[in-house]
């Protein structure tokens, strides 16, 4: 890959927010990274970072550049994997630790497509809690972890990380079905169906409850299938991530309406152990999963557009 070292350095600095931390992760000197960045800034005749008291922050130019950098890195990794597959080198096994909602939605499609592209790789998907996912990856029982709300850990590398919108899921005849967005307070008069306490989605939803509001769910459960079934009946209002009901949205059984608010998001991350590079098989699996997750988010944002405050 042309200028591969520079691209990798820049990507790591953005992820770490610090040249020193990036240098430690990459096992290179901080001065080597600084020289690469200064050379690049000179070449494009614009600063890439703002030097802040608590670290580095991308400039507008830097935001454009890092998008290009990451696309280039991903395309390079994908091309390498495809070339290796042509040589019959991609064979082996990879274990993915994930949550039930993702296993039954996003990962089911990813596994199906991956098996077509790489029939020589055996995939093992384990459904665990968030804490158990972290421990499974740290111990080496799982090669990668994909989940919502994973805590940061010094021994885990977050290969991808972004937010997915959460919202209300209702029946087609529900009054919310024609709305483009819904405020949380609008939901309070309706029977609320929520994940039980302690689950990442419940924590994300509760963060949206106004200080002076009383939120008393009609039903609490750890069963995603029960929530989706109850959402099919008006006037129930369920709270879910859009990925968890993608199949029902395509069939028209349920309607997803985004919740208003910049915090109406659920963080999703793909992690692996930070010690050393990934083996070829795990690298191919991780890239395949991350590309699918980002494509889903982009497709949703494209079809739903910006949120409004009053629907």
Q: Are residues 121 and 104 in the same domain?
A: yes
Average pLDDT over residues 129-144: 92
In a domain, 81, yes or no: no
Q: Are residues 250 and 111 in the same domain?
A: no
Residue with tokens 């770490």: 16
Q: Are residues 275 and 193 in the same domain?
A: no
Model confidence over 75-109: pLDDT tens digits? 776 666 666 655 555 678 899 999 988 898 889 98
What are the DSSP E strand ranges found in 100-175? 121-127, 144-148, 156-170
Taking Cα atoms as reference points, which of 102, 259, 108 lies closest to residue 170?
Answer: 259
Which of 12, 44, 73 terminates a domain? The answer is 73
In a domain, 83, yes or no: no
In a domain, 181, yes or no: yes
Predicted TM-score of the model (pTM): 0.65
User: Which helix (DSSP H) or strand (DSSP E) does residue 111 occupy?
Assistant: helix 106-117
In a domain, 202, yes or no: yes
Taking Cα atoms as reference points, which of 61, 35, 64, 32 lies closest to residue 48?
Answer: 61
Q: Are residues 206 and 292 in the same domain?
A: no
- Tell me the C-alpha distance between 96 and 102, whole Å: 11
Which residue did the predictor score with more confidence, 244 or 305? 244
Q: Are residues 49 and 119 in the same domain?
A: no
Number of domains observed in the structure of the chain:
3
Q: Are residues 169 and 260 in the same domain?
A: yes
Q: Are residues 137 and 109 in the same domain?
A: yes
Q: Which domain holds residue 121?
A: 91-161+267-298
Q: Are residues 115 and 233 in the same domain?
A: no
CATH number at residue 189: 3.40.190.10
Average pLDDT over residues 271-279: 83
Q: Are residues 136 and 198 in the same domain?
A: no
């Amino acid at each position: 890959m042309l200028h591969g070292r520079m691209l990798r350095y820049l990507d790591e600095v953005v992820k770490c927010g610090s040249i020193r931390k990036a240098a430690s992760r990459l096992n290179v000197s901080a001065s080597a990274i600084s020289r690469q960045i200064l050379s690049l800034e000179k070449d494009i005749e614009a600063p890439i970072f703002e030097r802040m008291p608590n670290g580095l922050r991308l400039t507008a130019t830097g935001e454009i550049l890092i998008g290009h950098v990451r696309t280039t890195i991903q395309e390079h990794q994908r091309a390498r994997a495809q070339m290796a597959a042509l040589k019959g080198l991609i064979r082996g096994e990879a274990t993915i630790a994930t949550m039930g909602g993702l296993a039954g939605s996003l990962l089911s499609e990813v596994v199906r497509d991956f098996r077509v592209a790489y029939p020589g790789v055996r995939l093992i998907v384990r459904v665990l809690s968030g804490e158990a996912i972290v421990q499974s990856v740290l111990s080496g029982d799982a090669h990668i972890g994909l989940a919502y709300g994973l805590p940061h850990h010094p021994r885990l590398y977050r290969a991808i990380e972004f937010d997915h919108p959460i919202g209300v899921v209702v029946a087609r005849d529900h009054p919310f079905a024609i709305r483009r967005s819904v405020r949380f307070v609008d939901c309070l008069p309706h029977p609320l169906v929520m994940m039980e306490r302690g689950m990442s989605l419940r924590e994300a939803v509760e963060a949206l409850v106004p200080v002076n509001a009383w939120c008393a769910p009609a039903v609490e459960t750890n069963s995603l299938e029960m929530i989706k079934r109850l959402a099919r009946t008006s006037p129930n209002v369920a709270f879910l991530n859009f990925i968890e009901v993608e199949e029902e949205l395509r069939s028209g059984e349920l309607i997803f309406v985004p919740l208003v608010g910049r915090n109406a998001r659920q963080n999703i991350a793909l992690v692996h152990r930070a010690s050393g590079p990934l083996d070829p098989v795990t690298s191919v699996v991780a890239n395949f999963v991350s590309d699918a997750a980002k494509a889903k988010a982009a497709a949703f944002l494209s079809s739903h557009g910006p949120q409004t405050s009053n629907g």
